[in-house]
Amino acid sequence: MLNGLNVPAGRRYEVRHDRERPASGPSYEAALGLALVAAEGTRGVLSLLRRHSPEEVWRAGRRDLLEWTEGRSWVDRFLDLRSRTFPREAASVVAAAGLVFVPWGHTAYEADLMALDLPPAGLFVKASPEAFEQFAAGARVAVVGTRKASHYGLSVARAIGRAFAERGVWVVSGLALGIDGRAHRGCIEAGGRSAAVLGCGADVVYPRRHRELYDRLGSEGVILSELPPGVRPAPWFFPERNRLLAALSHAVVVVEAPRRSGALITANRALDLGREVFAVPGRILESVSEGCNRLLYDGAGLCLDPVSLVEDFHRFARKEASPFLSGVRDPAPADSAENGLEQAGRLAVMALSAGPRSVDAVADVAGISSREASAALGLLELRGQVVRVSPGTYGLSGR
């Protein structure tokens, strides 16, 4: 019925990137079908992709499936779902959502995903073809952390995002509030490219307040998900998303994570896949740093500062010979010009270097009166050197 519309975008990809595998043909449809069925709950079928092509799985009879899987219980459910799934029609829905389905077998990153126990049957991608091609070929680092980050964590996430951007490394993260969003933003601010791996359909903006970031990533970077368009986020999707995030990156940097955190799931999956894991040290009394410090204790790479982190990344990442190393750009020199602030301002800045403080605390640390501190902070805020993290509490803006 929708034959004319079903796969134009997908075909374009396949033609451009992988001439040997027909795009709209049975292989494409089989992979799309498997992606749809897997999202419905029979994820086990994805395990077969490690030994069989999507087409074989999609066509397989009950007896073959039972034999391959040693009689898993989901086989009948899979057959039922398969009989009610029509990939050709679904292809038009994917295109209508502004997405492209990149099926299993896309050469550029198959090796990265093959290592997974349950590799995705394909990825739903929102990106320009050029951006996706560069993403698939480029050096990629996952920068992840908690949604409820501290001011410190957010500043570090931004700095790390910038540092990787300046060296041409793709910053991959989950578009979540907190660390994720800050890492994406830092990367984009420094002119880099960033990719988001979502725990919902790639056309679903979640969280809502990251709409603007989502739009920018969709137009300049890459947004991808293994879930079909329109799927709403659900708690059980996020661990699966994290495994994909780990698989698609050459290393994982955990910026800030409490003891139980999705970021630690990402880190553990990355270790399973043999990726390098880095962690940013935090204050030992803060529960939000517990996960990171635990990772460091267990032997994760230590993020000394953003620049050495990027160098360590290049040293450890699998693509050591990547062209990005040769084209290394020096980070922009820090703005060292004297800003002409009064002494109170300088003292206040020094007082804030250890983290956000209230006005009275700044006054005490800087040894100035509460009034002076208040006025100095008012001026510094005006100049953009400090930000208010809550009324009356200031932190350095991280510029």
Partner 1 sequence: MAAVRAYALIGTEAVAVQVEAHVRPGLPGVSMVGLPGVAVREARERVRSGAASTGMPLPTQRITVNLSPADVRKEGPGFDLPVALAVLAASGYVSKGALQNVGAMGELALDGLVRPIRGMLSVAEAARDDGIILLIVPLVGLAEVCAVDGVHAVGVRDLREAVMVLRDAEKRERLLERGRRWLRTRKLEAIVDRGPDLADIAGQRHAKRALEVAAAGGHHLMMVGPPGAGKTMLARRLPSVLPLLDATEALEVTRVWSVAGLHRPEDGLATQRPFRAPHHSASRSAVIGGGSPPRPGEASLAHRGVLFMDEFPEFSRDVIESLRQPLEEGLVVISRKGGSLTLPAAFTLVGAMNPCPCGNLMQPERVCRCTADMLDRYRGRLSGAVGDRIDLFIDVPPLELSAFGPVDGRDDDSAVVRARVESARSFRLERESLLSALPRSSEEGGGTGRSHPERLESRMGVSDGARSLLREALSRHVVGGRGYVRALTVARTLADLDGVSAISADHVAEALSLRDPGYECRSAVAAGVRC
User: Footprint of partner 1 on this chain (CB under 8 A)?
Assistant: 147-152, 154, 177-179, 181-182, 185, 207, 209, 258, 285-288, 355-356, 358-361, 363, 369-371, 373-379, 381-382, 384, 387-393, 395
Q: How many CA atoms lie within 13 A of 92 on its CB side?
A: 9
The nearest distance, CB 256 to partner 1, in angstroms, is 10
Helices (H), the chain: 8-17, 26-39, 54-59, 62-69, 74-83, 87-96, 107-114, 129-137, 151-166, 179-189, 211-220, 237-247, 262-272, 290-297, 306-316, 323-326, 343-352, 359-366, 370-382
Task: Using alpha carbons, select from 340, 147, 173 the residue that is nearest to residue 260.
Answer: 147
d(CA 256, CA 251): 16
The nearest distance, CB 193 to partner 1, in angstroms, is 20
39 versus 377: smaller Cβ distance to partner 1: 377
Quick one: which H or E segment has residue 224? strand 222-225
**Strand order in 393-396's β-sheet?**
357-358, 393-396, 386-390
CA angle 140-156-286, nearest 5°?
120
Tokens describing residue 253: 């940097």
Task: Using alpha carbons, select from 149, 160, 122 the residue that is nearest to residue 38.
Answer: 122
34 versus 344: smaller Cβ distance to partner 1: 344
337 versus 382: smaller Cβ distance to partner 1: 382
The nearest distance, CB 389 to partner 1, in angstroms, is 5
The nearest distance, CB 380 to partner 1, in angstroms, is 9
CB contact burial 183-199 (16+ within 10 A = b; e otherwise) = bbbbbbebebbbbbbbb
d(CA 287, CA 303): 19
Contact present, 134 and 166 (Cβ < 8 Å): no
The nearest distance, CB 377 to partner 1, in angstroms, is 5
Q: What share of the chain is helix, strand, coil (3-state, %, to 5)?
A: 50, 10, 35
d(CA 98, CA 273): 31
Burial (CB count within 10 angstroms: exposed 0-12, middle 13-18, buried 19+), residue 94:
buried
The nearest distance, CB 260 to partner 1, in angstroms, is 12
The nearest distance, CB 150 to partner 1, in angstroms, is 5
168 versus 356: smaller Cβ distance to partner 1: 356
Contact present, 135 and 195 (Cβ < 8 Å): yes
The nearest distance, CB 156 to partner 1, in angstroms, is 13
33 versus 178: smaller Cβ distance to partner 1: 178
The nearest distance, CB 17 to partner 1, in angstroms, is 36
127 versus 348: smaller Cβ distance to partner 1: 348
242 versus 385: smaller Cβ distance to partner 1: 385
Burial (CB count within 10 angstroms: exposed 0-12, middle 13-18, buried 19+), residue 36:
buried
9 versus 366: smaller Cβ distance to partner 1: 366
154 versus 292: smaller Cβ distance to partner 1: 154
66 versus 389: smaller Cβ distance to partner 1: 389
The nearest distance, CB 358 to partner 1, in angstroms, is 4
